[in-house]
Amino acid sequence: MVKPRITITSDDRLEDIDSPFKVIAGPGAGKTHWLVEHIKNVLLNSTKLSNISKISCITYTTVGAEEVLNRLKDNQDKVDVSTIHSFLYSNIVKPYIHLLKDESGRKLVNIYEMDGHIENVATKGKIYKWQREVNNAGFIRDQKKIKRCLENIDWVLDNGTFILKPRNEYLRRIGRYSIRLEDLHIYKKISWDDGIIHHEDVLYFSYRILKEFPIILEHLSAKYPYMFLDEFQDTNPIQSEIIKWLGDTGTIVGVIGDPAQSIYSFQGASRSDFINFFLPNLNEYVIGNNRRSGERIVEILNHLRQGDTIAQRSTHNQSNNPIYYFECENEIAQTLSDFHNLRRELGMGHDYCILTRNNDSVKRLQNIEVTDVWTSLNEADSDRERLLKSLITAYKLVEDGRNELAVKEVIRSLKTDKNNILKSPFQGSQFIDSLSKRSLAVDLVEFLMSEIKQSFNFTLLVFYQILYEFLKAKGYNLIKITRGNIKTLSEQISIQELIENLILPEEKSTDIRTIHKAKGAEFESVLLYLDDVEEIENIIHPEINSENDDTRIYYVALSRARDLLCLAGPPLTKVNKEKISEFNIIVKKKSHNN
């Protein structure tokens, strides 16, 4: 029997801490505050925690994990805070992957070479090897389309059976032929034989390990008698199934989320899994208030959310600024200037963010030329591209205030074989142990922070030579760039171009970013930039419960604002101007500098 929903505030504490629960909380409801206080409440009052057991807290992003850890302060030793991939890899895949065998009885993955999980990048070498094994090179020739298809594949759980296919089915079609689904498994096998597992494989392996060896569930449940999962509206069906298994085994499971903020369907997320999530004796709670945004902003959020069960009230923010729409065509710089002038007029001197739908629009707003430089580098030399991408990523992570993550990124880039010998682009038989690897990673991060600022306008070839000399002084030898496509390319590419065209999966301090990267953040002032006049339709005629994410994406964007919310986009039709005036949005005419 389904229990009735209970309305609570973010300051309420649950008396019943030993029943599973689901919390539905809209934007600005204070759910992170509630979650942290609930964890503290469990730590204080639980009789299920022992000296060796812990609470598991799962967040959607590493930025979210850092935020929870910061708020827990002195209570961190009894709580494991991580992303779902990190949790599953550490507790299931890494210790138990050796149990999985193929049809011939061989280990499914080369455990001696396995070192974490990475993004799926189909290198030229991997594609060549794959085509040779599946024997399709004679009729499927477009390498770029093959690469796009292989990098888009994911595991789909269908009635207990796994299907490996591209998230976008049309990518299988290349010219007059289609890549066979069974051939995609060969691509995975090639990677696994090299000890390489991709992010999407972590869920697949975890499911299989627990399904085939259910005794591991009992061990996990004893280790983690409580598991709380934030942002569960973006859960994956495979993840949902694993969490239910843990709940059935004895772990007290709590899921927290908001169906109206589910925006990752392109990655296989299923909002219906959160809506329909159920465990025996589950309690369901709703936090209805909005502590973040001013009254006008909450009004438009409620308009977007019409047809949903939550209608928020603004409770903590007394600001009542109008919402503005800046009409602009190609004069992006002028629109940004108008936004900042308005902020000054209204005395908004604190944090702000400019949000837009995709990465190309971010580059345009930053006035950066978009190039395919990293793909070109990967095609020329995938080993060097991997190392350089990790180093530039580490540099950007430090710039984003995430130093420890930067060091971990560099450690991951120093690939070794089972004998701890460094792999290409290092040369010879150079041994490095884990302690030396961390020490070298710290040195490399310090080197990057001082050197890149000086090398910003240098070519990659010049920077690579400086890196070569630095590593040589530390006792490690890179393979020099002396000839071939990599030499030609590295003479043409600047370090600035590499930095500007590298996109971090998460950011927490950039002023211009995609809407997806602003998830969980808040700002005093927000400008939402719309590329297309049609995008305003998602705000005027919202469909918050649609299978399509569009309305929910703009809902997430608008709900980031505390005090000032602005939109910018192409000039509106007369009808749309009248429509948005009904929501008290003031249209600012195009301004021109004389």
Q: Which of 452, 481, 501 is the last residue of a domain?
A: 501
Considering the domain boundaries, does residue 407 fall inside one?
A: yes
Interacting residues of 215 by C-beta distance below 8 A, sequence separation 6+: none
What are the percentages of helix, strand and coil residues in the chain, rounded to 5? 45, 15, 35
Interacting residues of 488 by C-beta distance below 8 A, sequence separation 6+: none
C-alpha 355/C-alpha 533 separation (Å) is 16
Return contacts of 573-578, CB within 8 angstroms, 24+ apart: 573/533, 576/533, 576/536, 576/540
Region of 163 on the Ramachandran plot (φ > 0 left; ψ -120 to 50 alpha; else beta): beta
Confidence of residue 570 (pLDDT cuts 50, 70, 90): very high
DSSP string for residues in 470-488: HHHHTT--BPP--SHHHHH
Q: Which of 205, 225, 259 is the last residue of a domain?
A: 205
87 in the same domain as 63: yes
Q: What phi and psi, each to the nearest 5 degrees, are found at residue 514?
A: -75, 160
Q: State the pLDDT at residue 594.
A: 38
Total number of domains in the chain: 4
Q: Measure CA 230 to chain center.
A: 14
pLDDT tens-place string over residues 323-349: 999 998 777 888 999 999 999 999 998
Query: What is the pTM assigned to this prediction?
Result: 0.87
Interacting residues of 138 by C-beta distance below 8 A, sequence separation 6+: none
Q: Per the structure block, which two tokens stand in for 504?
A: 């971090």
Percent of the chain topping pLDDT 70: 99
Considering the domain boundaries, does residue 177 fall inside one?
A: yes
pLDDT tens-place string over residues 486-511: 999 999 999 999 998 888 887 777 89
Q: What stretch of H or E contains 475?
A: none
> Domain range holding 112?
102-205
C-alpha 347/C-alpha 341 separation (Å) is 10
pLDDT, mean over the chain: 93
Considering the domain boundaries, does residue 125 fall inside one?
A: yes
Whether 63 shows a pLDDT value over 90: the answer reads: no
The alpha carbons of the chain give a radius of gyration, in whole angstroms, of 25
475 in the same domain as 382: yes
555 in the same domain as 533: yes
Closest residue by Cα to residue 145 from 122, 118, 164? 122
Residue 327: strand pairing partners: 569
Q: Per the structure block, which two tokens stand in for 356?
A: 């837009």
Q: What's the average model confidence in pLDDT over 228-241? A: 94
Considering the domain boundaries, does residue 421 fall inside one?
A: yes
Q: What is the signed CA dihedral for 148, 383, 413, 399, rounded to 10 degrees?
A: -70
Q: State the pLDDT at residue 591.
A: 56
Considering the domain boundaries, does residue 593 fall inside one?
A: no
193 in the same domain as 155: yes
CB-based contact 292:319 (threshold 8 Å): no
Confidence of residue 369 (pLDDT cuts 50, 70, 90): confident
pLDDT tens-place string over residues 85-99: 999 999 999 999 999
Whether 284 shows a pLDDT value over 60: the answer reads: yes
Confidence of residue 592 (pLDDT cuts 50, 70, 90): low
Sign of CA dihedral 523, 361, 324, 32: negative
264 in the same domain as 136: no
482 in the same domain as 403: yes
CATH number of the domain at 55, please.
3.40.50.300
Confidence of residue 162 (pLDDT cuts 50, 70, 90): very high
Please report, in range form, the residues annotated as the binding site: 25-32
DSSP 590: P
312 in the same domain as 392: no
Q: State the pLDDT at residue 139.
A: 93
Percent of the chain topping pLDDT 90: 80
Whether 200 shows a pLDDT value over 60: the answer reads: yes
Considering the domain boundaries, does residue 557 fall inside one?
A: yes
Q: State the pLDDT at residue 104.
A: 92
Q: State the pLDDT at residue 237.
A: 93
Considering the domain boundaries, does residue 1 fall inside one?
A: no
317 in the same domain as 236: no
Please report, in range form, the residues annotated as the binding site for ATP: 25-32
Q: What's the average model confidence in pLDDT over 43-56? A: 95
CB-based contact 342:324 (threshold 8 Å): yes
Q: What phi and psi, each to the nearest 5 degrees, are found at residue 17?
A: -100, 0
Residue type, 217: L
Whether 589 shows a pLDDT value over 80: the answer reads: no
Q: Which of 477, 501, 525 is the last residue of a domain?
A: 501
Q: What's the average model confidence in pLDDT over 100-109? A: 95
314 in the same domain as 223: no
- E strands along 499-560, which residues? 512-514, 523-529
176 in the same domain as 278: no
CB atoms under 10 Å from CB of 352, counted, come to 19
Q: What's the average model confidence in pLDDT over 148-163? A: 94
Considering the domain boundaries, does residue 292 fall inside one?
A: no
363 in the same domain as 441: no
165 in the same domain as 199: yes
Confidence of residue 1 (pLDDT cuts 50, 70, 90): low
